[in-house]
Chain A
Amino acid sequence: MKLAYWMYAGPAHIGTLRVASSFRNVHAIMHAPLGDDYFNVMRSMLERERDFTPVTASVVDRHVLARGSQEKVVDNMARKDKQEHPDLIVLTPTCTSSILQEDLQNFVDRASTISDSDVILADVNHYRVNELQAADRTLEQVVRYYLEKARRQGKLDLSLTDKPSVNIIGIFTLGFHNQHDCRELKRLLQDLGIETNQVIPEGGFVDQLHQLPKAWFNLVPYRETGLMTATFLEKEFGMSYVSTTPMGIVDTANCIRQIQERLNAWAPVLLNEKINYESYIDEQTRFVSQAAWFSRSIDCQNLTGKKAVVFGDATHAASITKILACEMGIRVSCAGTYCKHDEEWFKEQVQNFCDEILITDDHTEVGDMIARAEPSAIFGTQMERHIGKRLDIPCGVISSPVHIQNFTLGYRPFLGYEGTNQIADLVYNSFTLGMEDHLLEIFGGHDTKEVITKSLSTDMDLTWNSESQSELSKIPGFVRGRVKRNTEKFARQNGIAEITIEIMYAAKEASKA
């Protein structure tokens, strides 16, 4: 048993549901007790989804516990097949079904004989993998299933597209700025003259998956999800992939150079020419993106040697660490990730760019580390933002887990050249806010005149008796002032000098809309 207040990565089924609900016309059925469909709330609230989340539960209750699910799961799948006609139904196990050890594969086999949809069982074990690993696995499982199906039906088309093309793998729902990143990547690829063959899973159709091998290569922007699919495609179809995250100026250039290399494996034959992106990289770096210029400007000079701490998923934490250290001259006291399963890769990436590396999924360890390091700014998840609030250190959010404010309506990619601008803003704003705060403290605040009262009226003939005062103190801070004002207004209007609890209630009652 582990005493836990907060976790960075969610349970396995969340990963499966994120992949399933990112595809179009795919329905997930969870084998879970009442209340485990909280995923629907997150998707509907955080992503502000307009459509009903295609996830339902086959509810595990007392009866199921006593007699087993029997027909229930199969019936639920058959029903969903009739109601929504999905292309694919993904039966999703949860922690509960992990312990019940029902033969879910059997249910899937039975359901697939009676429904028009394809039916698969997500192959994830709650106690072995977390949300990110499960997402990676489920995506691979779906891709594998449809490619094998296409092969059986002889529909598999292995010829490459005429023009250079790419699959973007691993963009999905509830991902950190994934929608914006996807748009930025497509724009970048278009600039490079590369067509986007497919984006999976977000917005993809499973019955199109057999077209995946037509692309010249695969691009996996985030390490957490998509690598398994990419390696599967490499093994089965010899498709090469690029897994350098194009985040920051240096790595975006690296990524483009790797793309160039992959394309040149085919380009001389298919296009009769070699591809060279160097001039594009140069133009973008020096003049289109503002980030390279920013790092030369005096603003950035002021950041030199300032201390920062970075924590997040492997992809974002590693990239941000490199950007801070190499591109902005900031000293990274500690870089860390909660992706314990990817420890080796992470260490290799950041070891020369920070003083210390922290691999943990315990938020108290992260908090202690930040308190010890006393950085000028933190770049982390929502959790680090709250640690920063407590320690009075500004924080830029760079990775999941995140809240609704990180699902911005405006265009905020982290990848590509526009991403470098966004990151520069984020970093600079975090530090200057910290600096401003500090200066204010030194010079004693904006206005050194002592504030006597918060209210603007000086009419002091009202007294609050001790009972009503304690009642007032129970009211949450953010409305207390208003309640106080309303009550006093009411008392004045009615010529009452002493405010009691009864007066407070009467005042609330009297206040109209």
Chain B
Amino acid sequence: MSINVSETLTFECETGNYHTFCPISCVAWLYQKIEDSFFLVVGTKTCGYFLQNALGVMIFAEPRYAMAELEEGDISAQLNDYQELKRLCVRIKKDRNPSVIIWIGTCTTEIIKMDLEGMAPELETEIQVPIVVARANGLDYAFTQGEDTVLAAMAHRCPECKVWTGEEKEIQSESPRKNSFTPLGEAAGRIRSTTKSRDTKPLVLFGSLPATVASQLGSELKSQSISVSGWLPAQRYTDSPTLGDGVYVCGVNPFLSRTATTLMRRRKCKLIGAPFPIGPDGTRAWIERICFVLGIETQGLKEREQKIWDNLKNYLDLIRGKSVFFMGDNLLEISLARFLIRCGMIVYEIGIPYMDKRYQAAELAFLQTTCKEMCMPMPRIVEKPDNYNQIQRMRELQPDLAITGMAHANPLEARGINTRWSVEFTFAQIHGFINAKDVLELVTRPLRRNNNLENLGWTDLVKGGD
């Protein structure tokens, strides 16, 4: 097997035999984020078993999610879906009184073609609780894309924007539908600048982040005198942001392409295509892009970024020149790889479940310039990777670090390859200037562990040494 290092980004697609989490896992962080929600996963024992084991202790803390476990009678349509769901939702309303119930469709509801979208509006009027339907199934999506389907579904339910006066609305409605996918370019900046001052341009950020990280990003923008008018999702469903024509939106995570599409096409929002605020370089590029589109001059960003890099020096010394291999399972890979290349690491391969070249366009371009500036070879990007082949490649390359799922972490460690679980990047706080340290804390942990255990002489721990 030969591994070529190319000058431009290469995209490959393998067999899709890789390990990742089922997208229903998004309920784990979304139910915590949206405090007044209740997630009902309509699926089988398999889904339930996954949630129970993947979420560990959370399950015992009276979670606001549950399984609607399908039984043989449901599959063979001996039971009436509508009546069954009604029975469960009435009970949920009684026990928990949520502001919204989110139905998560699974593989099984897809295969038996259960019409969740059709039933939801009817049941909603009957029980007087909003019901949002998201199809987060393993047939179509991987891991974090689950959040994407939920947010896309919620985008439909956000209230209509009332920022514009009636007069303006008429003008808007006369103009032809502008729903092209191209992220706002140079022209965008002047669209509204004639009529409104900059603080009336509403900016809604989308992507679920812990409350502290969200307010950190908000305060970074505030220091550039941009106020964030809302988040999708908000801390409570009832505080969902208003959306509509003239609202600028920007994503904070790379896996939100459906949400972006929905916001543009269905809610007529203007998408700011930017790299994602992961790492100080990404955060600066993200803020700069937003400021540029909103017609604001940035202040002191370069110094701010430099200060963060200075603070990271200890970590950088540890990883400079080390190589890393992303097996790919959560779609954060491009942004993380770009950050690590800027840190001086060599990235051999970026495995990724799904690559939306349009939504991630700015991030991909940023990756390319980063490689050039750092004089690093372009990594190969492998979509739908094949874990078996990847392990063969890793044997040849012997990377200093593999970022991988938990299914492969222990076996790789036993073969002397350092690993970091990719899932942790999903749950840790990695966005913004302040949290750059946390990313490197994760990345360097196996390397620091090695420094501690260096002279013990037991790195290879499998019999036969294969």
CB-defined contacts of B63 to chain A, threshold 8 Å: 5
CA–CA, A126 and B84, complex, Å: 21
> In the bound complex, what is the Cα–Cα distance between A512 and B437 (angstroms)?
8
- Tell which of B16, B67, B112, B405 touches A61, judged by Cβ atoms closer than 8 Å: B16
A100 to B112 alpha-carbon distance, docked (Å): 9
B45-A7 in contact (CB<8A): yes
Q: Is the pair A65, B406 in contact by a Cβ cutoff of 8 Å?
A: no
Q: How far is the CA of A176 from the CA of B48 in the complex (A)?
A: 21
Within 8 A of B (CB), among A181-234: none
User: Which residue of A32, A45, A56, A513 contacts B406 across the interface (Cβ within 8 Å)?
Assistant: A45
Q: 8 Å CB contacts to B: which residues of A24-70?
A: 32-38, 40-42, 44-45, 48-53, 56-57, 59-62, 65
Contacts A2-B69, A50-B462, A95-B44 known; A509 to B433 CB distance under 8 Å? yes
A48-B335 Cα distance, complex, nearest whole Å = 30
Asked if A440 CB lies within 8 Å of chain B CBs, one says no
A506 to B307, CA, bound (A): 11
The smallest beta-carbon distance between A40 and chain B, in angstroms, is 4
**Nearest Cβ on chain B to A37's Cβ, whole angstroms:** 6
B67 near A3 with CB under 8 A, answer yes
Min CB distance B371 to A, Å, is 27
Q: Kindly state whether residue B308 has any CB partner on chain A within 8 Å.
A: yes
B211 & A474 in contact (Cβ 8 Å cutoff): yes
Q: Does A127 contact B (CB under 8 A)?
A: yes
Cβ-defined contact, B49 with A7, below 8 A: yes
Check B215–A501 contact: CB distance below 8 A.
Answer: yes
Within 8 A of A (CB), among B1-56: 16-17, 19-24, 42, 44-46, 48-50, 52-54, 56
Q: Contact at A99–B111, with CB atoms within 8 Å? A: yes
Residue of B nearest to A98 (CB): B75
Q: Which residues of the other chain, B, contact A316 by a CB distance below 8 angstroms?
A: none
Q: Please state if B409 and A34 are interface contacts (CB–CB under 8 Å).
A: no
Chain B residues near A11: list those with CB within 8 A.
44-46, 49
The answer to whether A1 has its CB under 8 Å from any CB of chain B is yes
- Nearest-Cβ distance from residue B75 to partner chain A, whole angstroms: 6
* B contact residues around A439 at 8 Å (CB): none
Q: Which residues of A contact B433 (CB under 8 A)?
A: 509
Residue of B23, B311, B462 ringed by the most chain A CB atoms within 10 A: B311
B458 interface residue (CB < 8 Å to A): no
Any B CB within 8 A of the CB of A411: no
Instruction: Find chain A residues with CB under 8 A from B322 CB.
Output: none
* Known A1-B88, A36-B22: A41·B45 in contact at CB below 8 Å: no
Q: Give chain B's interface secondary structure class.
A: helix
B139–A33 contact, CB under 8 A? yes
Cα(A128)–Cα(B405), bound, Å: 32
Docked pose: A96 CA to B109 CA in angstroms: 10
In the bound complex, residues from chain B placing their C-beta under 8 Å from that of A49 are: 410-411
A95–B108 touching, CB < 8 Å: yes
Known contacts A41-B407, A45-B406, A475-B212; is A60 also within 8 Å of B315 by CB?
no
The reply to whether B46 and A3 contact each other, CB–CB distance below 8 Å, is no
Contact residues in A for B23 (Cβ distance below 8 Å)? 35
**Bound Cα distance A508, B24 (Å):** 33
Cβ of A474 and Cβ of B406 under 8 Å apart?
no
Q: Is the CB of A3 within 8 A of B66?
A: yes
CB of A2 within 8 A of CB of B68, answer: yes
A34 touches B59 (CB 8 A): no
Chain B residues with Cβ under 8 A from A130's Cβ?
A: 45
Q: Which of these, A2, A5, A10, contacts B59 with CB under 8 Å?
A: A5
- Asked whether A36 lies within 8 Å of B138 as measured between CB atoms, the reply is yes
Contact present for B137 and A83 (CB under 8 Å): no
A41 to B143: give the CA distance in the assembly, Å.
14
- Distance in angstroms from B447 CB to nearest chain A CB is 12
Q: Find out whether the CB atom of B45 lies under 8 angstroms from the CB atom of A10.
A: yes
8 Å CB contact of A94 from B46, B74, B434: B46
From B19, B57, B60, B216, give the contact of A37 (CB < 8 A). Answer: B19
Given A49-B411, A508-B434, A56 and B45 contact (CB-CB distance below 8 Å): no
Q: How many B residues touch the partner, as a band?
A: 35 or more
Q: Does A237 contact B (CB under 8 A)?
A: no
Closest to B423 in A: A41
Q: Is the C-beta of A340 less than 8 angstroms from some C-beta in chain B?
A: no
> Knowing A7-B48, A33-B139, A96-B111 touch, does A501 contact B219 (C-beta < 8 A)?
yes
Q: Are B411 and A51 touching (Cβ within 8 A)?
A: yes
The answer, yes or no, to whether B79 is at the interface (CB within 8 Å) is yes
Judge whether A6 is part of the interface by a CB distance below 8 angstroms.
yes
Contact A41 to B405, CB < 8 A, known contacts A34-B142, A99-B108: yes
A403 to B42, CA, bound (A): 25
Specify the chain B residue showing the minimal Cβ separation from A49. Answer: B410
Residues of B within 8 A of A447 (CB): none
Q: Does B85 contact A (CB under 8 A)?
A: yes
* A434 CA / B278 CA spacing, docked (Å): 48
Tell me if B70 and A1 are in contact (CB < 8 A): yes
CB-CB nearest in chain A for B54? A38
A4 engages B67 (CB within 8 Å): yes
Whether A40 touches B407, Cβ cut-off 8 Å, given contacts A4-B48, A126-B45, A505-B434, is: yes
User: Contact at B111–A4, with CB atoms within 8 Å?
Assistant: no
Contact B16 A59 (CB under 8 A): yes
Q: Which residues of B contact A127 (CB under 8 A)?
A: 71-72, 75
Nearest-neighbour CB distance to chain A for B461, whole angstroms, equals 6
Closest to B41 in A: A4
B411: which A residues are within 8 A, CB to CB? 44, 49-53
Pair A6/B219 contact, Cβ less than 8 Å:
no
- Provide the bound-state CA to CA distance between A5 and B27, in Å: 13
B396 at the interface (CB under 8 A from A): no
Question: Is A103 interfacial (CB-CB < 8 Å)?
Answer: no
Instruction: Check if A513 sits within 8 Å of B22, measured CB to CB.
Output: no
Task: List the A side residues contacting B139 at CB < 8 Å.
Answer: 33-34, 60-62, 65
The 3 closest A-B pairs by CB, nearest first: A35-B22, A33-B138, A40-B407
Cβ contacts A to B, 8 pairs, < 8 Å: A1-B84, A3-B92, A34-B20, A34-B138, A34-B141, A44-B408, A83-B388, A389-B60
Chain A residues engaging chain B, CB cutoff 8 angstroms: 1-7, 10-11, 13-14, 32-38, 40-42, 44-45, 48-53, 56-57, 59-62, 65, 76, 83, 94-96, 98-100, 126-128, 130, 383, 386, 389, 403, 471, 474-475, 501-502, 505, 508-510, 512-513
B: which residues have CB within 8 A of A? 16-17, 19-24, 42, 44-46, 48-50, 52-54, 56-57, 59-60, 63, 66-72, 74-75, 79, 84-85, 87-88, 91-92, 107-108, 110-112, 137-143, 211-212, 215-216, 219, 307-308, 311, 314-315, 388, 391, 405-411, 414, 433-434, 437, 441, 461-462
